[in-house]
Structure 1
Amino acid sequence: MYGGLIASGWHTGSLMMRLTAEGFLGEHSLGAAGLSELSWPAPVRVGDVLTLQVEIMAMRESGSKPHIGFVELAFEMINQNDEVALRTVGTMLIAKKDSSN
């Protein structure tokens, strides 16, 4: 069907989350509100080199919890041939900076 061995889409998603947690979110992440989009346009093959690109789409403050902000992020895992292997849009809960300092 795919002409060879490919990675599971969920395995690719777990790699995206690992890269996001270690390189982007850090200690400020308070969780996620969910995904509004998720697709795997191209398969991930043995030997592929993947790069994660993250774009901030929107930000808003929580109406009920003043210490939390909602950040809508678009993620793309792109292979060495500039093919998008994973595309998703999700909303993260992020601790807001203390403005009293």
Structure 2
Amino acid sequence: MFYRHYKGGIYYTLGLTSLYEGTGLEREWTHNYLSAIHTETGRKIAVSLIDGRFHVLDEEDTNLVLYLDMVGRFWLRPRDIFFETVKVDGKEIRRFLNYYK
């Protein structure tokens, strides 16, 4: 789904992260991962797509919205912050709005 940030950027959401609970780093993890930037910390986090879900290795990196900007960078933002409201010119608005075009 496409979202428009209140500052104007357009982003495509991919899903939420969950903790990888495998017994080891299976082939799927080591060959199918991407690097995403955490919006609040600036950390680069490895995210792997296994069985249709996005997995991370550290529990503190779960429940993050994974999204893609229009130049091909992957981002992670805590779900509650992604969907929160912000105050702009004295009005409460959603940080991201559904974007249909």
If the length of structure 2 is used for normalisation, what is the TM-score?
Answer: 0.23
- Which has the larger Rg? 1
If the length of structure 1 is used for normalisation, what is the TM-score?
Answer: 0.23
More strand by proportion, 1 or 2?
A: 2
More helix by proportion, 1 or 2?
A: 1
